[in-house]
Structure 1
């Protein structure tokens, strides 16, 4: 509670400090093979956000929107790029270092693959904030802090709710190979469910195939009575798979989208684990601006948690409008 008050107070003070309305750079969530140098951000600074996002991933569109909104509020230049290939993500970090940006925000789905490039940034005295995945490696790599949710805690929470709903055999659908955070979610669910949890590897960039694979699994093993998606687009594909298979399996998911909210309201999805990813874009730009202006650090060496929360049919209407606007 004390940390929450401190963070809110600091953010409030910064917001009142006369922030201008400069624009953040508009870039696709897909990677750019040769990123241009960020436009001069003046006293407010220039910041590069580099994630492991695949093109068209709605979850990361919300992160991008949060980062750009913070840049606009503070009059800073913010560029956003994403690439699901860890090698290419490392190259994007190296480019940002060569451009001498004032700060780098990076998600670490594959921390070991990014260690060297993040080390170069730290050696160049460019502050780094990690987000979303890789919390366990953030401090060791020299980042100022990590912003996200404990995937293990979130997974256990999901497992507890699925257990209460009567699920005894769960299919956990992993949509990105090598993403340590996704495995932590499945493992957490396994710990609290008290039943059997099987993993199914799919490709988030091919949702038709996701539907086909989940349906095939449900048809071949009718004892599976629960499905846990780890991505909102995968959740929608899994919903269709459950219908196609004629299964009575109960479905839950991580993360929100307008389609997931609609599915919760329709009773097709039990709940969504909400990590409030807009904050994973907005907060790191805010923290880096504070560090640039006043050498402030946040978190005291511990991650700053943005979740988990749970969206169910009881509260879905309250967040539906915000999800439609792309901020939840």
Structure 2
């Protein structure tokens, strides 16, 4: 009898411990409920790439339960900086935004955020000094290492197109934009110059940045003035989605010029299948929305440090586009 009693007590203790342990680790739905976040999709509402980021934000909001306010910035760094100030004034728990403004303009806002208890984290465009300063307090980065991504795209396009020293290439980008964002265009140019190419560069103007159709005349003019261009790189997701329009306007046949660019979209997938678009880096912008919300929630609820995630790990071309196209149609990839 004593042995039975002891064993029974032991079982009871074990059962109690098991129940306590299970209770402590049981998954909790909407575990980030009550946390208030300001999230920045980047472009105008419904825009290419911005909508993929927005969809990631929305899925994280649904899964995790925070209250999220959205700020659409029309790809305008100055507008984004103003909106960040507005978000800070509302004393939100966290801000997930692009680093378009660069460190000099954005770092004071990051300092203000952490001074008032707001977690600040970046996506798509890094703020490395701010991340170094506040990483232990939740500042992370979700996106591509931009210079490396640009260089990789340029080098891969040069290899696949059989680029030779002296050949002409057209890079249409945002070299003049501050901070890390401009470095992606610089990376593309550096790769082509390393290959000995003649680089024809055009900065994306404000109108084309907001609406790629506004750049059609510019593209046609560059191509007519330089008919020997062998490769075109569009360093902008919306411009990449418009390659079919640009090529037809310039009377180019599929494959006549090698097109490389950034970011998948339904139109980009279509252009790849048609033979106009040859190479795309998929930055997986859905993750650039979802993971920063998760980052803020983890930091706010559990004190986790920020995390750094490279989302640009794959090229898309005619060989694998069929696997990605259905997801691009849903604006997930």
TM-score, length basis structure 2 = 0.80
Match of 1:72 in 2: 62
Q: 2:98 aligns with which of 103, 107, 131?
A: 107
Match of 1:292 in 2: 300
Alpha-carbon distance in 2 for matches of 1:184, 1:291: 29
- Rg bigger for which structure? 2
Q: 1:224 aligns with which of 229, 253, 272?
A: 229
Alpha-carbon distance in 1 for matches of 2:64, 2:210: 34
Partner SS state of residue 225, structure 1: strand
Pair 1:61 & 2:61 matched: no
Unaligned stretches of 5+ residues in structure 2: 1-24
Shift of 1:177: 5.5
Say if 2:45 and 2:51, in contact at 8 Å, map to a contact too: no
Unaligned stretches of 5+ residues in structure 1: 1-14, 23-40
Where does 1:1-328 land on structure 2 (aligned, <5 Å)? 17-20=27-30, 41-42=33-34, 45-50=35-40, 52-83=42-73, 84-111=75-102, 112-140=104-132, 142=134, 144-164=139-159, 165-167=161-163, 168-174=167-173, 178-193=177-192, 194=195, 195-202=197-204, 203-247=208-252, 248-299=256-307, 303-328=308-333
C-alpha spacing 1:50/1:213, structure 2 compared with 1 (3 Å): same
Alpha-carbon distance in 2 for matches of 1:238, 1:70: 31
Alpha-carbon distance in 2 for matches of 1:267, 1:60: 25
Say if 1:173 and 1:229, in contact at 8 Å, map to a contact too: yes
Alpha-carbon distance in 1 for matches of 2:41, 2:58: 14
The more displaced of 240-249 and 108-117 is 240-249
Alpha-carbon distance in 1 for matches of 2:171, 2:237: 13
Shift of 1:152: 1.2
Shift of 1:97: 2.2
C-alpha spacing 1:198/1:324, structure 2 compared with 1 (3 Å): same
Say if 2:284 and 2:312, in contact at 8 Å, map to a contact too: yes
The more displaced of 116-125 and 281-290 is 116-125
Equivalences, count: 291
Structure having greater relative contact order (Cα 8 Å, sep ≥ 6): 2
Structure having the higher helix fraction is 2
Q: Deviations over 1:73-118 (max 9, x none)?
A: 0111112112244343233222322222111111111222222222
Say if 2:173 and 2:234, in contact at 8 Å, map to a contact too: yes
RMSD: 2.4
C-alpha spacing 1:70/1:91, structure 2 compared with 1 (3 Å): same
Say if 1:271 and 1:311, in contact at 8 Å, map to a contact too: yes
